[in-house]
Amino acid sequence: YIIADEAQYIKNNNTQNAKAIKNISAETRFALTGTPIENSLSELWSIFDFIMPGYLFGYREFKELYETPIIKEGNEVAMNKLKKLIEPFVLRRIKGEVLTELPDKMISVLNSQMVDEQRDIYLSYLAKAKKNAMEEIQENGIEKSQIKILALLTRLRQICCHPSLFIDNYKGESGKLNQCIEIVKDAIQSGHKILLF
């Protein structure tokens, strides 16, 4: 079995993800996604090509029979044929349908403090990031600087999570990871099950 969760990552047939997972041998395949189609019908074809290679033909034939007539011509006959082909294999569950099966959501907000070394790295990079951001804005304006500023903010966030996400060979600790490990240990000792992602 292969169960591909977040199957939107294989919607582009030309990506390495799509090519790699399609090369894995399995008798049964499932694809799970909340968004099987975002931009084009080729995304649906790619997911089906993973689940059942050839079921929706090769891409050229699929495009000729379904994608072009449906998208460019609004052809309802082609749309209904495609719908009949995929209907037996698509299970759509909306939040309202499964909400009764789910336990009440519990949200616990825990504040985490950076360890000293981590805080020093953060403050040092923050000073550098402020300087770089101001220079970038003065040179290119705020509109053209947004990507660079976002990259600087991402680095700061990575340092907050764990400096090793940003600094190769970082051997120090992370306050957030330390706290996470403590929570996991406590949960295991209390006999709880854990799903960590």
Q: What would the pLDDT profile of 25-82 be if each residue is shown by its tens digit? A: 999 999 999 888 888 999 999 999 999 999 999 999 999 999 999 999 999 999 999 9
Indicate the pTM of the whole model: 0.54
Q: Could you give the 3-state DSSP secondary structure of residue 108?
A: coil
Answer whether CATH 3.40.50.10810 is correct for domain 2-101. yes
What are the distances in angstroms from CA 76 to CA 37, 48, 63? 18, 21, 15
- Checking if the pLDDT of 160 tops 80, the result is yes
What are the distances in angstroms from CA 165 to CA 101, 112, 171, 176, 184? 37, 17, 11, 13, 21
